Amino acid sequence: MQENIKIICIGCPLGCEITLTIGQKGKVEDMWGNSCKEGKAYALEEYQNPARILTSTVRTKNCSRPLLPVKTTKPVLKTELMQCISALARIRVSPPIKIGEVVLDNFLETGVDVIATDNL
Ligand code: SF4
């Protein structure tokens, strides 16, 4: 039995709606709606390994400001996002920290760093 799923491409402002036909065993059997090959690559990646840049906050210590905004330097697999959020909830950072500074390297051994998105 086949199933169609729709993915909106975020590769450019056109925002093409791409439809994937998924066959048995989850294999992509057909695709349409993309206006370029970048859209095809995006849709396949979004279906097979969806990932997102994680933006969040971490708690501070020795500081009057309670939270520091942070983000990952690369997308994190959606299946790992909750684990990453839990890990961020456990850390504390102290000033001084400059915007762009790594506050956590090789986040959960994903090869992704977490950086500050503001000065502290
Ligand atoms: S498929 Fe190509 S043209 Fe369409 S939104 Fe994606 S990048 Fe833009």
Q: What is the distance in A from the centroid of ligand 1 to the CA of 7?
A: 11
Asked whether residue 111 carries a pLDDT value surpassing 90, the answer given is no
Domain that holds residue 64: 55-116
Q: What is the distance in A from the centroid of ligand 1 to the CA of 15?
A: 6
> Do 64 and 95 belong to one domain?
yes
> Do 68 and 99 belong to one domain?
yes
Q: Which two tokens stand for residue 83?
A: 């684990």
Tell me the pTM: 0.78
- Mean pLDDT for 80-108 is 92
> Do 36 and 60 belong to one domain?
no
> Do 70 and 105 belong to one domain?
yes
How many CB atoms within 10 Å of residue 112?
21
Neighbouring residues of 20: CB distance < 8 A, sequence distance ≥ 6? 4, 5, 6, 7, 28, 30, 31, 43, 47
Total number of domains constituting the chain: 2
3-state secondary structure (DSSP) of residue 44: helix
> Do 64 and 13 belong to one domain?
no
Q: What is the CATH number of the domain that holds 60?
A: 3.10.530.10
3-state secondary structure (DSSP) of residue 1: coil
pLDDT in tens, 4-55: 999 999 999 999 999 999 998 999 999 999 999 999 999 999 999 999 999 9
- Mean pLDDT for 63-90 is 93
Asked whether residue 60 carries a pLDDT value surpassing 90, the answer given is yes
Q: What is the pLDDT of residue 1?
A: 82
Q: What is the CATH number of the domain that holds 25?
A: 2.20.25
Whole-number average pLDDT of the chain: 94
